[in-house]
Amino acid sequence: MANFSTPILFVVAAWLAMIPHLSLVSGTNIRLIDFQSNCIDLPRTTASLDAPQAAAVGTFPCVNNRAGFTWVATLTGLTNFNITSAVVPSIVLSVAAVGNTAPSSSIPLIDQPVLGRAGSIMTWKFVSNPNFSGKFNIVPTISPGGVVVALRSYPKRPATVTPNVDATYTPLFLDTLNVKDPQQVFTIQNV
C-alpha cells in the first residue's frame, strides 16, 4: 500500500475537486458572471473596427439577448482553458503583456487590465473557491515572477462620478490571488 504525504493528498484532492467542472465547461458556450451578477463581455460585443486585433473587456449587466456575453472555454491541457469570444472567435481573453508569446519579463501581471486579444497564448484555470460555494477564481496559467494572480472585477461607479463613462461598465484587472476577496470570484454558467 502506498504511503502518501499530506501535501500530495491535498494536491490530488484539489485536482479531483475540479474534475466534475471540467466536463461541464470544456468546449461549451459559457457566461462568466462576477460578484455583482454582471457578465464579462466586449463593450461593443465585438472587436473594435479601428483595432480589430484587440478589444476591451469588462462586465456589463447580463442581458439574455446580448450574444457578446457568451465565451467558449476550450480545454488546452489537463486543467487549462483557452477562453475565446463566441461572437469573435479570434479574440482570446488575455492581457496586454501576453501576446503570441509569453512575457519575457519577470514582472508580475498585477494590475494588468483584461482585454480580448487576437492570437494570444493566454490560458486560464477555473479554480473552485473554498470560501464561496459554487464560485471560481479565474487564474491565468502564466505567472511571471511567480506571483499568482486572478481576475478581479471592480464595483460600478455612479454615472455622476464618471459622467463620460458607460455607468453599466465595470473594468476587469488581474490582482494578486486572494481567495477571500468576493470581487475575485465568478460563477460559470453554461449557455
Looking up residue 99, the CATH number of its domain turns out to be 2.80.10.50
Q: Are 92 and 83 in contact (CB under 8 A)?
A: yes
pLDDT at 13 over 50: no
In a domain, 1, yes or no: no
Tens of pLDDT, residues 90-138: 888 998 888 888 887 788 888 888 988 888 999 999 999 999 999 999 9
CB 119 within 8 A of CB 137: no
pLDDT for residue 166 is more than 70: no
61 in any annotated domain? yes
Band (52; pLDDT cuts 50, 70, 90): low
Residues 6+ apart with CB under 8 A from 74: 26, 27, 81, 82, 83, 84
CA dist 10 and 8 (Å) reads 5
Task: With respect to residue 156, please indicate whether it lies within any of the assigned structural domains.
Answer: yes
Q: What whole-number distance in Å separates Cα of residue 136 and Cα of residue 125?
A: 9
In a domain, 175, yes or no: yes
Q: What is the mean pLDDT of the chain?
A: 78
Q: Is the pTM of this model over 0.85?
A: no
The larger pLDDT score, comparing residue 164 to residue 89, is at 89
Pairing of strands 136-140, 124-128: antiparallel
Whether 82 is in a domain gets the answer yes
pLDDT confidence tier of residue 24, bands split at 50, 70 and 90? low
CA 164 to the chain's CA centroid? 26
Domain, as residue range, for 106 = 6-190
Q: What is the pLDDT of residue 191?
A: 81
Quote the percentage of the chain above a pLDDT of 90: 27
Is the residue at 17 inside a domain?
yes
Once rounded to an integer, what is the mean pLDDT over residues 36-60? 71
Backbone angles phi, psi at 87, to 5 degrees: -85, -40
The count of residues in the chain is 191
In a domain, 39, yes or no: yes
Q: Domain count of the chain?
A: 1
